[in-house]
């Protein structure tokens, strides 16, 4: 079997293992990977944080002359509704040049690629340790990675991490532009509560309606629109993208960024909206609850907001911003999650290895660092001072809007061409960075 055929088979098999989270059942995927590796002479182990929820870990020892590298991935996927798919989501079907299934992009293709590259390094002369970690529960609580960090940190410690969250190439007017995720926005989920007093719903004047009191708060969140900030990483990426898309001249100095971002959105909604979210604070009302019965004036209402902030924002600054937003209104504020943005440096040997490998594979391409609008497990490593890069190299087919909606959406699939491209690039990155 050629390595491409082997890779397709590995991915197809992984996609057939239903690891929808909840409930996860990732140990089924971990056991499959353990057996697959063991057939190739690589030992690995499964670390479960609860029954059926296992992380797969393995390490190939290097000579110690160079840095170590962790290849990180997750085996769980978000649920899929078969009624909405053209091909059953857990069939792992190989059809028309594509491998189909939930997780084909996020991120079992990367699990397959990393596992394959890892297994091929077992007899090579590595300068540093190469570690493979495929976690459980990334899509929900992150219990998998937390378990490993708390209970088995020594098994996965590395100088560098490669993970998901970047690496997509866009074919713009003037050539390919690839991203590498070197930062993630901060996550500040909060809840605001308004209080009223109950009364019979038929005589509303006797009570105080908490839902009515929530209305101005909800309006302010919905109307909140932060300006784009020229923060790095991301700004350089967005600037390059605008230029390569032909929306602004190569030599031009950009001063009308909002207009250009709107124009980018008109060209490709996926690219435009992602670029905006990278450069801005966003506040999304995601849940609202109020009232207990049809005929009772509601005495409490809560609104949950998903607030994300680009690098440069601290928790203090976010709290001030929220205070300003709701100024003059009565409410109680509670944070559900507070995690600062995380950033990795770009002037590292691994970054340079990634860049030079990519440019060899795709001559004339550009690589620019980006901030992920959402979050991945990379943040845990960045907090420990370990550079982590989101780099799952893929060439986006068609427009970015349709492409990006396959992730967590319907009919998720990856072309065999892209799967092999991802493998070729990552293998070369590992070889150029790790081999003697
Ligand atoms: Zn993912």
Residue 254 belongs to a domain with what CATH number? 3.30.70.360
Q: Is residue 354 located within the same domain as residue 407?
A: yes
Q: Is residue 235 located within the same domain as residue 251?
A: yes
Q: Is residue 144 located within the same domain as residue 267?
A: no
pLDDT (average), residues 296-310 = 98
Q: Is the pLDDT of residue 307 over 90?
A: yes
Q: What's the 218 CA to ligand 1 centre distance in angstroms?
A: 30
Q: What's the 100 CA to ligand 1 centre distance in angstroms?
A: 16
Q: What's the 163 CA to ligand 1 centre distance in angstroms?
A: 9
Q: What's the 114 CA to ligand 1 centre distance in angstroms?
A: 14
Q: Is the pLDDT of residue 255 over 90?
A: no
| Domain final residue, candidates 339, 370, 395 | 339
Q: How many residues does the chain have?
A: 436
Report the chain's mean pLDDT, rounded to a whole number: 97
Q: Is the pLDDT of residue 48 over 90?
A: yes
Q: What's the 22 CA to ligand 1 centre distance in angstroms?
A: 14
Model confidence pLDDT, tens digit, residues 182-235: 999 999 999 999 999 999 999 999 999 999 999 999 999 999 999 999 999 999
pLDDT, residue 384, reads: 96
| Domain final residue, candidates 293, 320, 339 | 339
Q: Is residue 10 located within the same domain as residue 80?
A: yes
Q: Which of 347, 354, 430, 340 is nearest to 382 (CA)?
A: 340
Q: What's the 139 CA to ligand 1 centre distance in angstroms?
A: 7
Q: What's the 74 CA to ligand 1 centre distance in angstroms?
A: 7
Q: What's the 246 CA to ligand 1 centre distance in angstroms?
A: 31
Q: What's the 107 CA to ligand 1 centre distance in angstroms?
A: 5
Q: What is the pTM of this model?
A: 0.94
Q: Is residue 223 located within the same domain as residue 165?
A: no
Residues in contact with 310: Cβ distance below 8 Å, sequence separation at least 6, in sequence order:
185, 186, 229, 231, 234, 278, 279, 280, 281, 341, 371
Q: Is residue 154 located within the same domain as residue 198?
A: no
pLDDT, residue 252, reads: 87
Tokens of 96: 């028309």
Q: Is residue 372 located within the same domain as residue 331?
A: no
Q: Is residue 214 located within the same domain as residue 168?
A: no
Measure CA 338 to chain center: 18
Q: What's the 375 CA to ligand 1 centre distance in angstroms?
A: 9
CA distance 381 to 177: 26
Range of the domain at 231: 186-339
Q: What's the 75 CA to ligand 1 centre distance in angstroms?
A: 9
Q: What's the 314 CA to ligand 1 centre distance in angstroms?
A: 25
What CATH code is carried by the domain that includes residue 176? 3.40.630.10
pLDDT, residue 370, reads: 97
Q: What's the 28 CA to ligand 1 centre distance in angstroms?
A: 18
Q: How many domains does the chain have?
A: 2
Percentage with pLDDT > 90 across the chain: 97
Q: What's the 376 CA to ligand 1 centre distance in angstroms?
A: 7
Model confidence pLDDT, tens digit, residues 86-131: 999 999 999 999 999 999 999 999 999 999 999 999 999 999 999 9
Q: What's the 102 CA to ligand 1 centre distance in angstroms?
A: 11
Tokens of 409: 């959406």
Q: What's the 414 CA to ligand 1 centre distance in angstroms?
A: 14
Q: Is the pLDDT of residue 393 over 90?
A: yes
Q: What's the 436 CA to ligand 1 centre distance in angstroms?
A: 32
Measure CA 398 to chain center: 21
Q: Is residue 176 located within the same domain as residue 307?
A: no
pLDDT bracket for residue 79 (50, 70, 90):
very high
pLDDT bracket for residue 398 (50, 70, 90):
very high
Q: Is residue 111 located within the same domain as residue 249?
A: no
Q: What's the 219 CA to ligand 1 centre distance in angstroms?
A: 32
Q: Is residue 195 located within the same domain as residue 327?
A: yes
Model confidence pLDDT, tens digit, residues 308-323: 999 999 999 999 999 9
Q: Is the pLDDT of residue 279 over 90?
A: yes
| Domain final residue, candidates 339, 373, 392 | 339
Q: Is residue 120 located within the same domain as residue 202?
A: no
Q: What's the 210 CA to ligand 1 centre distance in angstroms?
A: 38
Q: Is the pLDDT of residue 141 over 90?
A: no
Q: What's the 138 CA to ligand 1 centre distance in angstroms?
A: 7
**164 and 73 in contact (C-beta within 8 Å)?**
yes
């Amino acid at each position: 079997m050629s390595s491409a055929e082997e890779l397709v088979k590995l991915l197809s098999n992984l996609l057939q293992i239903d690891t929808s989270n909840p409930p996860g059942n990732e140990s089924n995927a971990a056991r499959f990977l353990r057996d697959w590796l063991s057939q190739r002479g690589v030992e690995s182990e499964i670390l479960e944080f609860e029954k059926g929820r296992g992380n797969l870990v393995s390490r190939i020892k290097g000579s110690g002359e160079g840095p170590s590298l962790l290849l990180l991935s997750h085996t769980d996927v978000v649920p899929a509704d078969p009624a909405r798919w053209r091909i059953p989501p857990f069939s792992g079907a190989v059809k028309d040049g594509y491998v189909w299934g939930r997780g084909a992009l996020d991120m079992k293709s990367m699990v397959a690629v990393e596992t394959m590259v890892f297994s091929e390094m077992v007899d090579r002369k590595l300068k540093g340790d190469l570690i493979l970690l495929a976690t459980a529960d990334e899509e929900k609580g992150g219990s998998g990675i937390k378990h490993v960090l708390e209970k088995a940190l020594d098994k996965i410690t590395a100088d560098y991490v490669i993970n998901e969250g970047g690496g997509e190439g866009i074919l713009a007017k003037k050539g390919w532009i690839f991203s590498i995720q070197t930062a993630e926005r901060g996550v500040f989920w909060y809840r605001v509560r308004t209080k009223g007093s109950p009364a019979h719903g038929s005589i509303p004047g006797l009570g105080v309606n908490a839902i009515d009191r929530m209305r101005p708060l909800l309006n302010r969140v919905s109307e909140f629109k932060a300006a784009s900030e020229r923060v790095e990483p991301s700004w350089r990426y967005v600037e390059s993208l605008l230029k390569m898309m032909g929306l602004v001249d190569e030599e031009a100095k950009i001063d009308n960024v909002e207009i250009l971002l709107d124009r980018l959105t008109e060209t490709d909604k996926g690219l435009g909206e992602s670029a905006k979210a990278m450069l801005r604070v966003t506040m999304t009302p995601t849940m609202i609850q109020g009232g207990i019965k049809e005929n009772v004036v509601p005495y409490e209402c809560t609104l949950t907001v998903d607030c994300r902030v680009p690098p440069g924002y601290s928790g203090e600054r976010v709290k001030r911003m929220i205070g300003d937003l709701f100024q003059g209104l009565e409410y109680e504020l509670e944070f559900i999650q507070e995690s600062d943005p995380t950033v990795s440096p770009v002037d590292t040997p691994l970054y340079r290895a990634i860049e030079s490998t990519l440019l060899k594979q795709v001559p004339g391409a550009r690589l620019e660092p980006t901030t992920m609008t959402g979050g991945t497990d990379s943040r845990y490593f960045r907090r420990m001072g370990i550079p982590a890069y989101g780099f799952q190299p893929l060439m986006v087919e068609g427009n970015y809007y349709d492409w990006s909606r396959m992730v967590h959406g319907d009919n998720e699939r990856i072309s065999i061409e892209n799967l092999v491209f991802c493998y070729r690039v990552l293998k070369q990155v590992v070889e150029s960075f790790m081999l003697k």
